[in-house]
Amino acid sequence: MRGAGTFTGRAWRVAAKAALVVALAGSALAADAPSTRVPVPGVTAPAEGKCVEDTEFMRRNHMRLLVHQRDRTVHEGIRTEKHSLANCVSCHAGSKTGRVTGSKDAFCEGCHRYAAVKLDCFECHADRPAATASAAAPPAGGPK
């Protein structure tokens, strides 16, 4: 006599088939779902050609490059354009706004919001290329 709580061979096969169906259906649904619930920033590529370094390298090391560039410029008087903040801004400024900050879609601000990292470069530095920044600046000798 079998106990009320035991499975027979047939019941185990049915349970295994049901588990397989659920697993396959779940994986099919997961394939259609986004990989994360957090929206990935929609940043655009540089204005022309290729960035000075590959994307993965820049994601992980751009701050080190900027600090190194700053130290060489400020402490040693060596100015180069390759890893300068001004060079980054001139390539990555948005086509609509001409800036790298100001919205969640802006190049620098979009990634920094996504990563929850404070973006303080532009408290002192211009967030748009020099031509745009100078066009927006008030004329010299104007009202104060």
The total number of structural domains in the chain stands at 1
pTM (two decimals)? 0.60
Establish if 21 belongs to a structural domain.
Answer: no
- What is the domain extent for residue 87? 55-124
Which pLDDT does position 144 carry in this prediction?
43
Establish if 83 belongs to a structural domain.
Answer: yes
Establish if 106 belongs to a structural domain.
Answer: yes
Residue 119 makes CB contacts below 8 A (sequence gap 6+) with: 101, 108, 109, 112
Per-residue pLDDT band for 2 (boundaries 50, 70, 90) equals low
Kindly report, residue by residue over 77-134, the tens digit of the pLDDT: 998 888 899 988 988 888 888 999 998 888 899 889 888 999 999 999 999 998 755 4
Establish if 6 belongs to a structural domain.
Answer: no
Average pLDDT over residues 66-72: 91
Establish if 8 belongs to a structural domain.
Answer: no
Average pLDDT over residues 51-59: 87
Establish if 100 belongs to a structural domain.
Answer: yes
- Buried/exposed code over 71-108 (b: 16+ C-beta within 10 A; e: otherwise): eeeeeeeeeeeebbbeebbbbbbbeeebbbbbeeebbb
Establish if 112 belongs to a structural domain.
Answer: yes
Amino acid at site 36:
T
Establish if 114 belongs to a structural domain.
Answer: yes
| Percent of the chain whose pLDDT exceeds 70 | 72
